A and B are shown apart, each in its own frame.
Chain A
């Protein structure tokens, strides 16, 4: 158990819908990362937050957005869902975005868009 929790574990929805994925980092970790794992794209970095502020952006679609709240949990919002958004979404955390050398991963949320 990495100490990073993600909810829900599974999510099944329809095209055009909007969903929210939630991540709680390890206790004391200030930095949260979101990754998408799909069969055709592999594991790709989406976005990073550090202590409530966006720090880095990767291959995140405009239909996707994220935020980190004062209690340090993070949410990833996916809207106008398409079939191709079906994937495993992982969240990871580290204690300090600048000094960290290891990211701890949650178990992931499996999103299926029908």
Chain B
């Protein structure tokens, strides 16, 4: 079945450091890919998405590119802030409106 694998966490960085969180997927066809963020005590919020190969999703300084050849959707940010501390989930859907399949989540802590 479909699956998403994220890099093992937790990740701890200093403010202004570069962030990469790896995400790879296994799915047939052409899934849509997402990054969701969960701040402490809150629900999930969509951070960015890409719906076809080579699309780049971006939001709030975060970016991820849909790479079909490597089945990857790695999340990057050039300079993290303390306020970016949260849990980040990579996810996919096979078709619009269908279930989300999530990765394990990666806890990011940014220290001042």
Cross-chain contact B100 with A99 (CB below 8 angstroms): no
Complex interface residues of chain A between 42 and 79 (CB less than 8 A to chain B): 42-45, 48, 50, 56, 58
For residue B32, which residues in chain A have a CB less than 8 angstroms away from its CB?
101
For residue B104, which residues in chain A have a CB less than 8 angstroms away from its CB?
42
A86 to B: closest C-beta gap in Å: 17
Q: Given B46, B99, B102, which contacts A102 in the complex, CB threshold below 8 Å?
A: B46
**Main SS at interface, chain B:** loop
Contact with A along B9-44 (1 / 0, CB 8 A): 000000000000000000000001010100001111
How many Å lie between the Cα of A99 and that of B49 in the bound state?
15
* 28 A/B residue pairs, CB under 8 Å, sorted by A: A2-B43, A2-B45, A4-B43, A31-B97, A33-B99, A33-B100, A42-B103, A42-B105, A43-B100, A45-B100, A48-B99, A56-B98, A58-B99, A90-B43, A90-B44, A94-B97, A96-B97, A97-B97, A100-B96, A100-B97, A101-B32, A102-B46, A103-B46, A104-B46, A105-B43, A106-B43, A107-B42, A107-B43
